[in-house]
Amino acid sequence: MTTKTHRSPVSEFRLLTIPLVVFLLVFLGFPAIVNLVYSVSEVSFETLRRPEITGFGNFAAVWSDAAFWRASWFSFRFGLLTAVLECALGLFLAIFLAPLLERRSWLMAILMLPLMVAPALVGLMYRLVLHEFAGPVPYYLWAWFGASLSFLGPGSAFWTLIVVETLQWTPFAFLLFYMAYQAIPREIIEASSMDGARYHHRLWYIELPLMTPTIVVALLIRFIDGFRVFDNVYVLTGSGPGGSTASLSIYIYEAFFKQGAIGKAVAASVILFAASFAVLYGLNAIAARRKGATR
Amino acid sequence: MINMLRWIVFALAAIAMNFPILVTLSTSFKSARELTTNPGLWVQAPTLENYAAVFTVSDRLNIFLYLVNSFAVAALGTLLAVALALPAAYAIARGKVGERTLLPLIVNLRAVPLVIFAIPLYMMFQWLSLLDTRLGLGLILAIVNLPLALVILVNAIRDLPSELDEAALMDGATRTQILARVIAPLCRPAIVTGVIFGFITAWNEFLFGLMLTTSKAVPITVGASFFFAASGGGVQWGVASAVMIVGALPPMLLGLLMYRQISGSMTAGAVKG
């Protein structure tokens, strides 16, 4: 077709990716190597540039650290519970409010507003909301029920954080589900109502199955974000009371910045890296198989 | 009847999810005296004294600096991410270069806890003297923004008819010229979306701001927490509330104005990634 010969197009495309690849190598590749080297080294702030490779002592230290396992368990429970709650609430809102939102899309902006605020600021805002003297929640609880709770005390801090995270991120799940709900082809819904299907039958047998892929994706995204939580937990409870609300991200941060335990912090980073890589690899393999099956 | 119920559910959800914002907004208008007597939502005698106090610079707290820092690092982190992602997105969408390696690698970055890179980046920045600089934090925020910027741009370019490229190739244009003169202008809506979404994400980032800055380059998310560090008489809730409202306002306004574009890009990574 072409009369002119061009430079091999693939090589010019390669050139266009070079800036990005170089940037990634410098800011992710190099740190990844530093992580790997330092995780098997004896290192302190004094010997930062001269790590001495000593073996797997750091990993052993992390592995036998009860705080590491407690943080892992916190992150897992936190990610799982918030993901399930956010998706359940978001699904309900998306389906129940759809008739309202279809006609007045600006209502969406109000429901999306929490997503625009920094989680760190939301966490700080809850310091005010829950404060025993200045906060409205204890104030109204006293006024209406004559009793309040110690929201950030032992035992309740975990659940307070769950509520804080869920209220901020339910809008995200809601948004995904609302978009998926709107994307269900009209003909399917019309055909089913012609066949006399009732509302809840249509919901259960037609609409929800069509939304299942989105539900799975939303659960995954929210689990991952809950698992790696840092900002709101850090400003709201630090890691307290007594380390009971330290997520893995907070564990790594504190090991490095508060205890100066560089080796331990880096080894924990490598473990987390390997774990997320394994999970992501598995998920991608499943997704690829599913795509192959449906297409 | 059922419609009435929908409105009630909407109102309850809107209030519950926006509750911290409402409380903070109301508290920011309360005088120091009212704060001690009225923790409720309703403000009896609204005042702007807290906002005036916020903008008085002290040697320890300087909200102007935090806001300028946030703006600078968010702008750098966003523009750099888009600038790096656009040519790569073109190569991925049209040349199928990196479609099976680079694209999934970066998309999955969205799911990796970035804290695992925090410590080596901290050391690297120490060697390069990038700690506590806007340039340093901006570079890291570009990494945070890359996954969604790339997904948005790849999707946008895939939606453009490839006849455009072929016609330009016939005229003797190189791929780089096509990208600059044909693709980039046509992708302007996607670029704008990527920039707005990236700006909000970068403005709201906290972890790297906390670790990589100490005084000169502190962003507002970190600076706001300084107002909570009890200095003698405990937290001044009115002032702290005004700080949080000021710090949350830019992304909230962007979000309210551009919610359509943002809802599309928020779901882009989820649905098509």
Interface of B with A in 167-206 (CB under 8 A): 169-170, 172, 174-176, 179, 200, 203-206
Q: What ipTM was assigned to the predicted interfaces of this complex? A: 0.93
- B259 interfacial to chain A (CB closer than 8 Å): yes
- Fill in the amino acid letter for B263: S
More confident residue, A3 or A167: A167
Confirm whether pTM is higher than 0.95.
Answer: no
Of the residues A43, A125, A151, A152, the best mutation for testing chain B's interface (the one with the most B CB atoms within 10 Å of its CB) is A125
- Identify the pLDDT of residue B272: 44
User: Any idea how long chain B is?
Assistant: 273
What domains appear along chain A, each with residue ranges and CATH number? 65-260 (1.10.3720.10)
Q: A295 falls in which pLDDT band (50, 70, 90)? A: very low
Report the run of H or E that residue A42 belongs to, with start and end. strand A41-42
Average pLDDT over residues A18-44: 89
Mean pLDDT (chain A, rounded)? 87
Domain ranges of chain B: 2-47, 63-271
HSE-CB for A251 with a 13 A CA cutoff: 30
Q: Residue B273 has what pLDDT?
A: 37
Q: Tell which residue, A72, A92, A165, A90, has the closest CA to residue A122.
A: A165
Over the stretch A67-90, which tens digit does the pLDDT of each residue have? Answer: 999 999 999 999 999 999 999 999
Residue B7 CA to residue B194 CA, distance in Å, equals 33
CATH class of B63-271: mainly alpha
A199, A203, A101: which is closest to B7 by C-alpha? A101
User: If contacts are CB pairs under 8 Å, which of residues 104-123 in chain B contact chain A?
Assistant: 104-106, 108-109, 111-123
What are phi and psi for residue A42, nearest 5 degrees?
A: -90, 115
Angle, vertex CA A137, rays to CA A134 and CA A140, nearest 5:
95
The shortest CB-CB distance from A97 to any of B6, B85, B237 is to B6
How much of chain B exceeds pLDDT 90, in percent? 55
Low-confidence ranges of chain B (pLDDT < 50): 272-273
| Cα of A96 to nearest chain B Cα, Å | 7
